[in-house]
Structure 1
Amino acid sequence: MSKLNIQSFFDQATQTVTYVVTDKATCSTAVIDPVLGFEPSSGKLTSESADKIIAYLDENELRLEWILETHAHADHITASSYIKGKRGGQIGIGEHIKTVQGAFKKIFNLHSELPTDGSQFDFLFEDGEIISLGHLNIQVMHTPGHTPACVSYLIEDAAFVGDTIFMPDFGTARADFPNGSASTLYQSIQKILSLPDQTRIFVGHDYKSDTRDEYAWETTVFQEKRNNIHVKTGTSEADFIRRRESRDANLPVPKLLLPSIQLNIRAGKLPEKEANGVSYLKLPLNMEFGG
C-alpha cells in the first residue's frame, strides 16, 4: 500500500498542474509548482488557484514542509512565496537556477538588484540529492534541456517531471529558451525513461491533443516509451533534435513570459517597491529570447 497521497490541482488559465503530495503517516506535505494568476491588462496578481491549495491543506490538517519548483516557469507566475507567507514551508529549486538568473539578469538589465546566487530560494538542490518528507524520501533528478535548471522529483513510484516531458500524445517540452538544448533535453528524457516501467509520471502541463478532448496529466514510463510522439522507444537523438528544433522555430513566445520569468527567478517575490510604494516589472522591446 502506498505511503504517498497525491492531489492534483489544474489551473485552467495556464493549463498548469500543481501537485500536493503528502506522507500519509505524518501529514507532512510538499506542494509542487503552485500558480498565481496574473491579469496583463491591469498588472494585478490573483490567488484563486493558490487559495484552493491552502484550503486543501487546512481542511486535511496537513503540515506544509516543502514548496518545490521544477524550474523557473515561463508561462505562469509561481505562488511559492505567497503560499509560504500563508502556511510556511521552505522553497526549493535546482541549483542551476543561478544560470537562469544570470541569463535573464542580462536580458532584463537588472544590474545589482537581482543577486544571481539563488539566495531568493531557501534550498538549491544538487542532482541526486535526497530530502525528507515525513517518513518518505524525495530524490532530486537534474533534467535540463527545457531550461538548464529543470529538475524532476522522485517519490516512491512517482516522478514529477515539470515541463520536461508531457502526455504521450503531446510529446515534450520546447528547448529554445536561453541555454536550452534539444540534445540535453533528449538525454534528460532518457534518464526519466530509464526508471522502472511502472513509474507514474506526473506532468507539469496538459494542452490536450488532436485526439483527446479531456485534460490528463498522469502517465507511466511504459506508456511514454511506447507512445510518446517525440521520443518513444527507437527515436534517435538526431531525429529528436531535428523534430524538436523545427517545431520550436514556429512556436510563439509564451504570453506570460515577461512577467513570469522576472518573478519566478525571485521565487515569486515582488521587486522592491519604488518611492511611490509600487513594484514594477520591465518590458523589453524587440528582444530575442531564443537560444
Structure 2
Amino acid sequence: MQATVQGFFDEATNTVTYVVRDPESTACAIIDSVLDFDYASGHTDTRSADQVIAFIEGQGLDLQWILETHVHADHLSAAPYIQERLGGKIGIGDRITVVQDTFGKIFNEGTRFQRDGSQFDRLFREGDSFHIGQLRGDVLHTPGHTPACLTYVIGDAAFVGDTLFMPDFGTARCDFPGGSAETLFDSVQKIMALPDETRIFVCHDYKAPGRDDYAWETTVGAQKALNVHVGAGKSRADFVAMREGRDATLAMPRLIIPSLQVNMRAGQMPEPDDSGTTYLKVPINRL
C-alpha cells in the first residue's frame, strides 16, 4: 500500500518532520517532530509543531503515533506537546535504554532519571510491526549513528532517520558515544535490501555542493547506485576509513547538549527545582 506523506522542513535545524497517512482512512503518524529552541536565551517555541498540528487538524486526521527514529542530537522533540494536543503514542527503539544509560552518566542525572525507556509509550524491536489505520509499519533496527536508530518501513516508504541522507550527501556521522562506522555500514545494507522502488525519506538535508534546493525524498535504487558514501558497490573497509576520517573533522552539533537531555526523556524537560525553574546541564570536556 502506498503511504501518503507530507514533509515539513525546519530550516533552523535542517530537519524534516513527516506526517504519514493511511490513504484509506484518516489515521496518521508523525515522525521526528521539532520543538523550536533558542539556545542563547533558553526559550522554547512551538511554531514548527503548531504547523504540523494545524495540518492534521485541517485535514481532519486522527493521530495514532508520534514516532522517533532515534534520540536526536540536533533538535529537540515536540512529542509531548503534540501528544497533549492530539493524542497518539510516542514510540522509539528499545535500545533507548543504552542511550539513556550512556548520557545519564555524562549528564550526571542521578537515580531519579529512569533508564528503562519508561518515558515512551512503545519501545520497538527489530521485526516489530504496527498499524496506522490499515497501513502496516515494520521496524528495522539500523544502529551505527546511535545504538537506538530505527528505520520505519510504512507501506512503500522507509523513514531512515539519520542513517542515510540524500545520495549526493551520503551517510550519518558515527562518532557520538555508542556510534560505529562498521555497524552503520551493516545497517545500510538492511535498507538497501528493500525493493529498489521503495521511497526513502531522510530526516535532514543540508544541500550538497552544487544543489540549490533542499530535498528529502529518494529511493532505494537511487541510493544503491548514487550514494556518495555507500553506493555503487563501495566496500565496508573503504566506507569505514572514509567515515572515521570525515567524522574526526566534524564539530559537535549546535544543539547537542539540550537535545540529548530532552530527547532521552521522550521530549520532556528535566524536572524543575523547588522554585519551578528547569535547568539544562553543560558537561565540561565530556562530548
- TM-score where L is the length of structure 2: 0.99
Deviations 1:131-166 (A, max 9, x none): 111011100110000000000000111100000000
Deviations 1:27-49 (A, max 9, x none): 11100000001011111111111
Contact 2:72 2:260 in 1 (8 A): yes
Deviations 1:71-127 (A, max 9, x none): 000000001111001111100000000000000011001111211100000000010
Contact 1:3 1:25 in 2 (8 A): no
Name 1:88's counterpart in structure 2. Answer: 87
Q: Give distance in 2, aligned partners of 1:223 and 1:65.
A: 31
Give secondary structure in 2 for the equivalent of 1:9. Answer: strand
Q: How far 1:4 sits from its partner (Å)?
A: 2.2
Q: Give distance in 2, aligned partners of 1:248 and 1:213.
A: 25
Give secondary structure in 1 for the equivalent of 2:25. Answer: coil
Moved over 4 A (4+): none
Q: How far 1:233 sits from its partner (Å)?
A: 2.6
Give secondary structure in 2 for the equivalent of 1:230. Answer: coil
Q: Give distance in 2, aligned partners of 1:215 and 1:94.
A: 28
Q: How far 1:271 sits from its partner (Å)?
A: 1.2
Alignment of 1:86-125 (within 5 A): 86-125=85-124
Deviations 1:163-212 (A, max 9, x none): 00000000000000111000000000011001111111000000001120
Alignment of 1:160-171 (within 5 A): 160-171=159-170
Q: Give distance in 2, aligned partners of 1:91 and 1:286.
A: 32
Contact 2:2 2:156 in 1 (8 A): no
Name 1:268's counterpart in structure 2. Answer: 267
Q: Give distance in 1, aligned partners of 2:153 and 2:225.
A: 21
Q: Give distance in 2, aligned partners of 1:193 and 1:186.
A: 10
Deviations 1:12-40 (A, max 9, x none): 10000000001122211100000001011
Give secondary structure in 1 for the equivalent of 2:41. Answer: coil
Q: Which amino acid aligns with 1:81?
A: P
Q: Which amino acid aligns with 2:202?
A: V
Give secondary structure in 2 for the equivalent of 1:246. Answer: helix
Contact 1:129 1:140 in 2 (8 A): yes
Q: How far 1:284 sits from its partner (Å)?
A: 1.1
Unaligned runs of 5+ in 2: none
Q: How far 1:285 sits from its partner (Å)?
A: 1.4
Output the aligned Cα RMSD: 0.8
- Say yes or no: does 1:246 pair with 2:245: yes
Contact 2:24 2:134 in 1 (8 A): yes
Name 1:212's counterpart in structure 2. Answer: 211
Q: Give distance in 2, aligned partners of 1:109 and 1:39.
A: 24
Percentage of matched positions with identical amino acids: 56
Give secondary structure in 2 for the equivalent of 1:51. Answer: helix
Q: Give distance in 2, aligned partners of 1:193 and 1:202.
A: 13
Alignment of 1:1-291 (within 5 A): 2-287=1-286, 289=287
Give secondary structure in 2 for the equivalent of 1:176. Answer: coil
- TM-score where L is the length of structure 1: 0.97
Q: Give distance in 2, aligned partners of 1:245 and 1:25.
A: 45
Deviations 1:222-280 (A, max 9, x none): 11111111001321100000000000000000000000000000000111111111111
Give secondary structure in 2 for the equivalent of 1:178. Answer: coil
Q: Which amino acid aligns with 2:247?
A: D
Q: Give distance in 2, aligned partners of 1:284 and 1:142.
A: 29
Contact 2:2 2:157 in 1 (8 A): no
Unaligned runs of 5+ in 1: none
Q: Give distance in 2, aligned partners of 1:136 and 1:192.
A: 19
Q: Give distance in 1, aligned partners of 2:277 and 2:70.
A: 27
Query: Alignment length, in residue pairs?
Result: 287
